[in-house]
A = this chain, B = another copy of it.
């Protein structure tokens, strides 16, 4: 459904969120370890999220990544997907027509709209805090 980059982004943000809620800054090394992702590749994704102002990075010794409570509450998974994967999944045609539109719908258009809207609503209504809370109350996990 989502690219690996996006999956890593989700997991990293949740982990950073967990730390930030405990007032802890965390570094790339620990992030990658805890979400089971390739370290250098994860670095690129964090840079992107940082430039998109979803998280804050601090350089130098004792540096690392944090995410503010405000961002935890206001950042929806939708925003993360847009930053990392773009909007194709929310707007693209199921059959790959250059543009999905109801004027000239493809044969799957109306059924597919429902799926896409379901996805869109889910991603719009879930913010990072929801995910972090799920992970911190033990009802869900970040790695197997």
Min C-beta distance of A82 to chain B, whole Å: 15
Are A105 and B140 touching (Cβ within 8 A)?
Answer: yes
Tell me the residues in window 113-144 of chain A with beta carbons closer than 8 Å to chain B beta carbons. Answer: 114-116, 118-119, 122, 126, 130-132, 134-135, 139-144
In the complex, identify which listed stretch (A5-13, A20-28, A59-67) lies at the interface while the others stay far away: A5-13
- Name the residue on B nearest A125 (C-beta): B111
Listed by A's residue number, 14 A-B pairs whose Cβ atoms lie within 8 Å are A1-B1, A10-B94, A10-B95, A14-B107, A97-B144, A105-B139, A106-B140, A106-B142, A107-B131, A107-B134, A108-B126, A109-B140, A111-B126, A115-B122
Q: Which residues of A contact B (CB under 8 A)?
A: 1-2, 4, 7-8, 10-11, 14, 77, 89, 92, 94-99, 104-109, 111-112, 114-116, 118-119, 122, 126, 130-132, 134-135, 139-144
Closest to A135 in B: B107
Cβ–Cβ contact B111 & A122, under 8 A: yes
One complex includes copies of this chain to the number of: 2
Q: Report if A122-B126 is in contact (Cβ < 8 Å); known contacts: A2-B94, A97-B144.
A: no
By a CB distance below 8 angstroms, the chain B residues around A2 are 94, 96
User: Bound state CA distance, A141 and B114, in angstroms?
Assistant: 19
Q: Which of B8, B114, B132 contacts A122 (CB 8 A)?
A: B114
